[in-house]
Structure formats: C-alpha cells, structure tokens
Amino acid sequence: MRSADPKIDRGEPAVNAAHTTLGYGGRPALDGLEFQLPRGCRVGVLGPNGGGKTTLFRALLGEITPLAGRLDVAVRAATVAQTDRSRLDYPVSALDVATMGSLARLPWWKRPGRKERARARASLAEVGMEQHARTGFGDLSGGQRQRVLIARALTTEAELLLLDEPFTGLDTSNEQRLERLIDELGAAGRTVMIATHEVEQARRWDLVLCLNHTQVAYGEPREALTRPVLEATYGEHIVEIPGEPELGVLPAHHHDEESPASEARSLP
C-alpha cells in the first residue's frame, strides 16, 4: 500500500555502514554490515529474534559504538518503541507524550514550554492525531498510540525513524493506516527503518536489510528476498507448507505446540 512516492535523496546517505561489526563488551553480536541508506527511503529490517535488529538500532542511536569498521549516521535518529511496552496507567495525554520528544534537546533543568508544545502539536498533526491531543494516552487504541509515539520521535526533529515491530498487535485497519503513514513520512524525505517479521509487507517498501548475526542481504525487495536469502535469514524458522509450493516463516513468538502449517506466513 503506497499513497505517495518517496522523495529519495541520492546525495549524501543518511547512514553509511562500512566493514562494520557491532557488539557488547568486546564480543561481536552483528558483523559484515555493508550498506548505505538514501535519505527518504523506507527500509524493512528482517531477521529472527536475537539476530541483530535491536543491536543495529542501538548503534544508529549512538548507544553503542562499532567494534570494527564505520557506522556514519548523518542525521538525527529517534526510536519508536512497540506500544505494548508503554505504560498505560500513567495519567498523560497524547500531547504530553508527543512533547516528551523535546526533552532530548533541552538542558536538564529546563521544562518544555510553549515552543516545545507547539512543535509537539505539529507532530501530532503530521501523524493525523491532532484531534486526540487531550485524550489520555492509555485511552487510545493500539494504532493511535503507535502514531503518538511516532509523533514523539518527530518532535525530536529526527530525520531517521527506527520503528521496532510497529505492527505488533494492530488489526488490519490500523495496519493499513500505519503503512500509509510510513509512506507519507518517506514522501516527506524522512528515512524510516522498520524492524519486522512480515516479509510480504517488506516487499512493498523501497529496500530490505536481512540480518542473522551478520548481513545476509541488502537491496530492493524483488532482488534481495530470494529463497536462499530467506533460508539464511530465518534458518529453522523456515518451514515447508504442506500442499503448497511455498515456504513459510514462523511467527516471532512461535511455540512448539503450535502447528507450523497453520501458523506460517506464505512466501514465494
């Protein structure tokens, strides 16, 4: 689903990884990174749980530094967490949550003022949530909360948005709204990286980056998402679907007692 063409900037990339190894305490967790992200592109980041997606996002945010090679981030980055990791019992409005994005740019002793709240309102408007500015965050639907969290990232004036499995728990209509929003963010010139397990969804974006403790593939979906790449990316999570000439990827939280045939997502 695509509502607007992205304004991809082929000049200086938003991110440039060269011979990059990432890890913790001197121990590698993700290596072999070799990619450039143009500004204004939508990038699906695929891989199993523990395969390196979170490690990459932490490095892009500057929380960890490469053990080897280079990871140059030319724009401000902000992360958008899953909504089910957010506190829903804390009495804050959608506007309060969006305004929190300004805290990173303020001195520790200064509270957000009129200017910051105006910026937060503009961010809510950008994600189509301005009419819910005074609504309690916990009273919003999952899809609405996800858009408010994106507004919080926009309030930081980030040009690189890192979405951590943002479609988790959303129904079909909210998934479609979020996909349209991602399209619109790309069309506005922002680079959006989406960590996901939804391969078919990733086919609709500009680029895909496949990780499994190393970079398995990077490029346009029609070229990168081949059967060998998916097998190398997901390993034992790849299953044959009985009676179908297709592969399936088991869900991220698959349990042994579940039926692979009924739970698998189709892949060509």
CATH of domain 1-75+159-226: 3.40.50.300
- The single-letter code of the amino acid at 71 is L
What pLDDT digit, counting tens, does each position of 128-187 carry?
999 999 999 999 998 999 999 999 999 999 999 999 999 988 899 999 999 999 999 999
| Residue pLDDT tens, the chain, 268 long | 444 455 677 678 999 999 999 999 999 999 999 999 999 999 999 999 999 999 999 999 999 999 999 999 999 999 998 765 566 667 899 999 999 999 877 777 788 889 999 999 999 999 999 999 999 999 999 899 999 999 999 999 999 999 999 998 889 999 999 999 999 999 999 999 999 988 888 999 999 999 999 999 999 999 999 889 998 998 766 555 454 444 556 555 433 333 333 333 334 3
- 214 forms beta bridges with 31
Closest CA to 137 of 171, 97, 174, 175: 97
pLDDT of residue 89: 64
**Pairing label, strands 68-73, 15-24:** antiparallel
Judge whether 87 and 149 are in contact, CB under 8 Å.
no
The three-state secondary structure class of 222 is helix
Domain residue limits, the chain: 1-75+159-226, 87-156
